Amino acid sequence: MSNTRLTRKNFLQSMLALGVAACIAPMSAVAADAYPNRPIRLVVPFAPGGNTDLMARILGQSLSEELGQPVVVENVAGANGSIGASRVASAAKDGYTLLFGTAGTQAINQSLYKSLSEKNLDDYEYLGLVAYIPNILVVNESRVPAKNVAEFVEFAKQQAEGLSYGSPGAGSTIHLSAEMLGTTADLSLLHVPYRGSAPALSDLMGAQLDFIFENITPAMPFVTSGKLKALAVASEERVAALPDVPTMIESGYDNFVTGTWNGVLAPKGTPAEITERISAAVIKSAQDPDFQKKVAEMGGQPRAMPPAEFKRYTQDEYKRWNAVIEAAGVEKM
């Protein structure tokens, strides 16, 4: 008699489990199909007003149109972007918290911070690269009377105490570009870190610094107005917005290509149905002529790199910047 009751109980439990599973499966499918049904956060791991912030807001508008929901840019600055990036890596895997990643967060910090490593690159789903922003070497001619890179290097070597340069912080592409030139040309340089590009550019114009390797976007208005002198762009080819400014390669420095880039990432483990939907929207936005025009006006180079290629690119960038950091002897933090 007890065996009969036990069997009947097991039967009822099995039927109940099957019923629950049958309900859950369609609900999961509906949840994926319904994505997104509320606003999406796009985390910018730097302060408002900078190059990455401006690019994120341009992309956010396009993504909002593609996904049918508001894309809200949230600035979470600190530690060369690693604080904001870490916050996204540990966020819910539901597609509502995304990272607007950069060369710093995805390729440099892993070699710079003791708490990170190359393994950190696997904490994300790579959804698409959208833009590349080259760096540009600018000087205040009242302090550095140079018309080109050769004259800059010659002048620098004549200064007993070396030249000073600013950056928005240790480990930024701006800092590492200057260190790269110092290593290559055997220059003595003094690094002056700031809390952002704006105060560094202000001090350069105020003749309190000698030069900066700045992202082209914030530097370009000062170059076009004549307040600062551009000696070279660190891109493979000349920038359309500044056609008369030669590249570092043209200036005699082979393979001197530095800058930052921007792409969209999600926490590792976000369902494929969701990442595929976001990725399609990211790539479509990056290919939009209006977006590309705005990027070019900022001095950037539009990109529309799909997930697998974006991930490989990030890994190659990690290796390249790690070599720069080791050659310059930059101390880990």
Q: Which residue in 118, 104, 120 sits closest to 262, CA to CA?
A: 104
- The dihedral formed by the CA atoms of 190, 193, 196 and 200, expressed in degrees to the nearest 10: -40
Q: Which residue has the higher pLDDT, 54 or 9?
A: 54
Return the pLDDT at 331.
81
Q: Which residue in 161, 260, 259 sits closest to 210, CA to CA?
A: 161
Return the pLDDT at 1.
43
**Do 48 and 126 share a structural domain?**
yes
CATH code for the domain in which residue 156 is found:
3.40.190.10
| pLDDT band at 32; cut points 50, 70, 90 | low
The answer to whether position 96 is within a domain reads: yes
Per the structure, the complete domain to which residue 81 belongs is given by 38-133+260-328
The pLDDT of 244-265, averaged and rounded, is 96
The answer to whether position 294 is within a domain reads: yes
**Do 87 and 111 share a structural domain?**
yes
**Do 104 and 155 share a structural domain?**
no
Return the pLDDT at 19.
52
Q: Which residue has the higher pLDDT, 204 or 15?
A: 204
What is the Cα gyration radius of the chain?
Answer: 24
**Do 267 and 225 share a structural domain?**
no
117-142 confidence digits (pLDDT tens): 777 889 999 999 999 999 999 999 99
296-324 confidence digits (pLDDT tens): 988 889 999 999 999 999 999 999 999 99
Look at residue 4 and tell me whether its pLDDT is greater than 50.
no
**Do 98 and 140 share a structural domain?**
no
**Do 179 and 207 share a structural domain?**
yes
Residues of the chain with pLDDT > 90: what percent?
73
Q: Which residue has the higher pLDDT, 224 or 115?
A: 224
The pLDDT of 245-269, averaged and rounded, is 96
Q: What is the pTM of this model?
A: 0.83
Which of 25-39, 55-69, 107-121, 252-266 is least confident?
25-39
| pLDDT band at 26; cut points 50, 70, 90 | very low
The answer to whether position 103 is within a domain reads: yes
Tell me the DSSP string of 119-187: GGGGGEEEEEEEEEEEEEEEE-TTT---SSHHHHHHHHHT-TT-EEEEESSTTSHHHHHHHHHHHHHT-
